[in-house]
Structures are given as structure tokens and as C-alpha cells.
Amino acid sequence: MGGQAGMSVSRLVALVLLSHTMTAARFDECAIYAGSSLVVGNLCDLGINVSCLKFAAGATGDRWLRTAARFLLLRMALTAGVMAAVYVCAPVISTRLLKHPEYSMAVRLACASAAVASLASFTLTLLQSRLEFVRIARLTGAAAVLQLLPVFCAARWGWPGVVALFAADAISRVWILAGAGTLLAAVIRATRAPGERPAWKPIAVFANWITISTLIGALYNYIPSVALSRWASAAALGIYALGTSFASGFALLINTTGTVLLPEAVAATTAERRRSYLRSYVPGAALLACALLVPTWLGGPIISRVLPAGMQGTVRVFQLLASAQITLLVSNPVQFLLYGAGRPQWCTASDAMVTVLFGGAAIWLAPAYGAAGVACALLVAQTGVKAVLTAGLGFADWGLQAA
């Protein structure tokens, strides 16, 4: 968690530094790059990392290498396909979808950096499968430092902001690949080694709903870029990107909590175990959520001190996005009970509903309220759907009864 937190903090510092060296209207390309990198990275995964962890669990020695090698080939093939499609379609995406032909370079740079990030992400998954968490922390911690070097150069010598972000991502991810190069080389050699490997059909069955959820997540993550580039000012894109970066710490907390609680929730297959799980977790999570909301809404003046004059709207965006993340602290672990009940499609359906409502509200609010309007749309859509589902699971056992 420390290494991932370092990566998030260094990206936040990079964006704040660049916001001081560029006008708000020119910061939009950095925002498009950041949003496109996230979406393309999602498309390069589609559940492969989680599937690799699942099928490699319990395997050792050559069997583990063969299993990892199968997923590495799958990851490389998917990454190559996504990269080719996005690179070729970048002019269409920037002209037709974003309504700004000048964003084509930012989309292509995001495509290139996502290719390196895809392999780096899978490499970290391999280390996670081997329980080498200290090594992960060291690699990501050093990568967080390297991520800042190109940004300092940009601030000193006036490099384009989007080029600095691309260099930062490329250098930090190459460092991760180099740091785990021995392991990665062993997995690559195992692609030609004889022996048993996971069959394709079980992999496809396991990753089915994860893949759909990832596709929905990619659409969800690109809604702000599309809505703000088409129906708001260029400055609104940069404001939203900065607000998202400030709120990323809460997203990391949610992911970490989910990693810890998901196994327990999946194992809660009886009514008594589900009640015990809810009693032990929900009250404390609700108190923590309320405690986090207080500094989020009272700490605005502190955040505004590090922002340039043209980016002061970032404070309100951060507060709205952070509030949306904090509500997930309670709702997501309750929703995990659906995996134990064998109904992951309910989780996918709720994510799809959030995305549809968020997209509609963002298009409606972006013209009048800009970045704050889109952040408010996310808060209302996500909190509304998750609150209904959480209440149904907690009080009426929706989807948890035996089929």
C-alpha cells in the first residue's frame, strides 16, 4: 500500500507543479492524457491480472511459471490489439468524440505509455502472486520518485506538460520492469516449456463478469473527459483532473479495504456468517466514513493554498469526488457478499446503472456547471445506486437467498 500511495502522491505533485507552469486553458491536454491513460490501461487488463492470481494460487515451481506464462501471452496479445486500435483511431476519437482535433497527440501518447504500464502492472501481479510484497513496495516507491524527474525538468526548461507526463510514466514503469527483469525473463522462457497449463475455457468462464465490469469501468472513467471536452471549457478538464488526483488517496483506501475484506465476504455463504460479517464491519466503516467527511469538507482552504488562481475550482471537485469515494467504504464491502452468493452479475448490473446515470447527469450538468457539475453527477449517481443496493443486501438479503 505504501508504494501505491507513493505513486499516487507523486502523480498529484506532478499535476500541481504543471498547473503552476501552464495556463488553465492549456492544462486540458494533460487532463486528456491522464484520462486516456487510465481508460486504455483498463482495456489492456479485462480481468487478466485477477485471473492470473486465481489460477496461479497454490502453484509452485515450473507449474507456476507455465501458468504465469499463459497469462503473460494473453496480456501481451490484448495489449497489442488495444494499442493498435487506439493509435489508429486517435484522430477519430479526438475529432468526433472529444471535439478537439488537437487532442490526438495526447491520446496517442497515452496509448504508448499504457503499453509499458500494462506490462509493468502484470509484472507487479506476478510478484503479488509470489507474495513478494516488500519487493513491490521497493519498486513502486522508487518508481514514484522517478515519476517526478521529467516534471521537474518540464518546470525548469519549459517542456510541454503532456510530454513530461508521458516521460514520467514511461521511466517509472520501465524501472518496474527492470527491477523484476529476472522473474519476467523466467516467465517468458516458460512460454515454450512443455507441461500442463490452464485451459482457455475455464479462464474465459472465470473472467466473464470481470471483463464486462472492466469494460463498464473504462466507459465510466472516460465520461468526464468526453462531457467536459464537448460541453464545457478547456479549463474545466484540468480542474477535474486535479480534483481526481487529490481524491485518489481515498480510492487507494477503498481498494486496500476491498483487498482485505473480499476473501471474508466470499466465504460468508450462510446467513449467520453474513450477519457476523456485517456486524463486524459496517458500524466501524460508517464511523470512519463520517470521520473522513469532516476534514474533507473543512480542509478546502488548505488545498486552495497549493493551487494556482485559475484552478481554485479544484477544491469543490475534490470534495465531491472524495465524498463519492468515502461512501464506497461502506457500500462496496457489503456488495462483496454477492460474490459469495454466486451472483457477480448483480455487481456488474449496479456498475452499469451507475455509469448510465452518471453519463446522463454529466451531459446535463457539464454545460452550466463545468467540472463541479460532473463531479456532482458522479456523487449523486454512485451514492444513489450503491445506497439502494447496500440497503437491500443488509436488510432484505437481496440476491443472497439460495437459488
Are 133 and 57 in the same domain? Answer: yes
Are 19 and 149 in the same domain? Answer: yes
pLDDT tens digits, 379-393: 999 999 988 888 887
> Residue 241 in contact with residue 34, Cβ under 8 Å?
yes
Distance of alpha carbon 12 from the chain centroid:
15
Q: Report the percent of the chain where pLDDT is more than 90.
A: 29
Instruction: Supply the mean pLDDT for the chain.
Output: 85
d(CA 38, CA 74): 20
User: Quick one: pLDDT at residue 176?
Assistant: 92
User: Quick one: pLDDT at residue 403?
Assistant: 46
pLDDT at 206 exceeding the cut of 70: yes
What are the grid coordinates assigned to 207, written together? 473472467
| Helices (H) then strands (E): counts for the chain | 17, 0
Are 152 and 81 in the same domain? Answer: yes
Are 377 and 311 in the same domain? Answer: yes
> Residue 15 in contact with residue 168, Cβ under 8 Å?
no
* Residue type at 318 in one-letter notation: F
pLDDT tens digits, 107-153: 999 999 988 999 998 998 888 888 788 888 888 889 988 888 888 88
Q: Which domain holds residue 308?
A: 234-396
What value does the CA radius of gyration of the chain take, rounded to a whole number of Å?
21
pLDDT tens digits, 314-323: 999 999 999 9
User: Quick one: pLDDT at residue 173?
Assistant: 92
Does the CA dihedral 157-158-163-165 come out positive or negative? positive
In a domain, 309, yes or no: yes
- Among residues 117, 111, 118, which one has the least CA distance to residue 90? 111
Domain boundary among 148, 175, 198: 198
Domain boundary among 174, 198, 222: 198
How many residues are listed for the chain in this entry? 403
d(CA 114, CA 36): 9
In a domain, 217, yes or no: no
User: Quick one: pLDDT at residue 82?
Assistant: 92
What is the number of structural domains in the chain? 2
Domain boundary among 198, 223, 242: 198
pLDDT tens digits, 178-203: 998 899 999 899 888 888 888 888 88
In a domain, 40, yes or no: yes
d(CA 190, CA 66): 5
- Among residues 218, 247, 224, 246, which one has the least CA distance to residue 237? 224
Q: What is the pTM of this model?
A: 0.86
Q: Give the pLDDT band of residue 19 (cuts 50, 70, 90).
A: confident
What is each CA distance from 62 to 75, 122, 377, in whole angstroms? Answer: 20, 19, 50
Are 302 and 359 in the same domain? Answer: yes
- Among residues 283, 273, 278, which one has the least CA distance to residue 392? 278
d(CA 295, CA 298): 5
Are 337 and 244 in the same domain? Answer: yes
Minimum mean pLDDT among 24-33, 154-163, 270-279, 299-308: which range?
A: 270-279
